[in-house]
């Protein structure tokens, strides 16, 4: 009986150590991947440089800058950005997930929608259950800066920046910058949010790239 009790206690101790080792390994692996996820596609200069909208949160607790090169000029990329939103152009990401979680009512557009090409500061961009994005700053063919309606002002920005890259190409940058507190609750939430944000944002950038390049490739060049 004593031997059985001793064996059970030893087994429990061994299991606790295994859980601890797995937990630590997972945490270390996540911390190693985190800079790559949060700065996917961006150069060191792009990560460190000041972008439109940064002034809205002067001392962020976290920042993520992701980027992609698009073989189309800024004027061919901009229309896809200004029509973002539910019952507009969509989000160009994994539509089935955006629909499942209630951010979109239907699939993202594959065409430019003329009636959604005019956006002003103060406009609301609906994401259904995700609440509205409020346009805080806009510079045509250059910058679209938004904040989430569901969070206090100054908590988070989501900005989209276009920079000419030469030879008719564009660098599309997206930045999340937040001042959300560093409490344990938020740290745990970020462990769940950041990987999802990486996957969805990466797909969005690729979706915009695909659409803009396809449209730029079908444009008729008139030589006078």
Contact 156, 147 (CB under 8 A): yes
- With cut-offs at 50, 70 and 90, classify the pLDDT of residue 194: confident
Asked if residue 9 has pLDDT above 60, the reply is no
pLDDT of residue 215: 87
Q: Is 50 within 8 Å of 65 (Cβ atoms)? A: no
Range with the lowest mean pLDDT among 61-75, 117-131, 133-147, 177-191? Answer: 177-191
User: Token pair for residue 123?
Assistant: 């406009």
Task: Name the DSSP letter for residue 219.
Answer: P
Q: How high is the pLDDT of residue 28?
A: 45
pLDDT above 90 for 117: yes
- Residue 46 main-chain phi, psi, to 5 deg: -65, -35
Asked if the 39-218 domain carries CATH number 3.75.10.10, the reply is no
Percent of the residues in the chain that have a pLDDT greater than 70, as a whole number: 79
Dihedral sign of CA atoms 33, 39, 43, 46 in order: negative
Rounded Cα–Cα distance for residues 68 and 162 (Å): 10
Token duo for residue 172:
């599309």
pLDDT over 90 (residue 126) = yes
Enumerate the H helices of the chain as residue ranges: 2-38, 44-48, 74-82, 95-100, 184-218
User: What is the side-by-side strand order in the sheet with 156-166?
Assistant: 62-70, 169-178, 156-166, 143-148, 132-139, 124-126
Q: Which of 98-107, 124-133, 211-220 has the lowest mean pLDDT?
A: 211-220
Distance CA 112, CA 177 (A): 28
Among 155-164, 186-195, 212-221, the range with the most confident prediction by mean pLDDT is 155-164
pLDDT digits (tens, 9 = 90+) for 40-97: 999 999 999 999 999 999 889 889 999 999 999 999 999 999 999 999 999 999 999 9
Select the more confidently predicted residue: 139 or 215. Answer: 139
Residues contacting 27, CB < 8 A, separation 6+:
none
């Amino acid at each position: 009986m004593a031997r059985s009790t001793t064996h059970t206690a030893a087994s429990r101790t061994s299991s606790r150590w295994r859980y601890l080792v797995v937990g630590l390994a997972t945490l270390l692996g996540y911390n190693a991947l985190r800079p790559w996820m949060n700065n996917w596609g961006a150069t060191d200069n792009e990560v460190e440089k000041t972008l439109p909208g940064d002034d809205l949160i002067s001392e962020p607790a976290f920042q993520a800058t992701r980027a992609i090169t698009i073989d189309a000029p800024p004027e061919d990329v901009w229309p896809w950005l200004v029509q973002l939103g539910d019952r507009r152009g969509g989000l160009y990401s994994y539509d089935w997930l955006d629909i499942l979680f209630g951010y979109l009512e239907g699939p993202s557009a594959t065409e430019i929608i003329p009636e959604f090409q005019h956006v002003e500061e103060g406009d609301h961009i609906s994401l259904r259950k995700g609440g509205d994005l409020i346009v805080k700053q806009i510079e045509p063919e250059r910058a679209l800066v938004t904040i989430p309606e569901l969070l206090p002002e100054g908590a988070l920005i989501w900005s989209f920046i276009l920079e000419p890259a030469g030879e008719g190409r564009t660098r599309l940058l997206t930045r999340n910058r937040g001042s959300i507190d560093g409490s344990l609750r938020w740290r745990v939430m970020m462990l769940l949010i950041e990987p999802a944000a990486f996957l969805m944002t990466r797909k969005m950038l690729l979706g915009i790239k695909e659409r803009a390049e396809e449209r730029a490739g079908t444009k008729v060049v008139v030589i006078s």
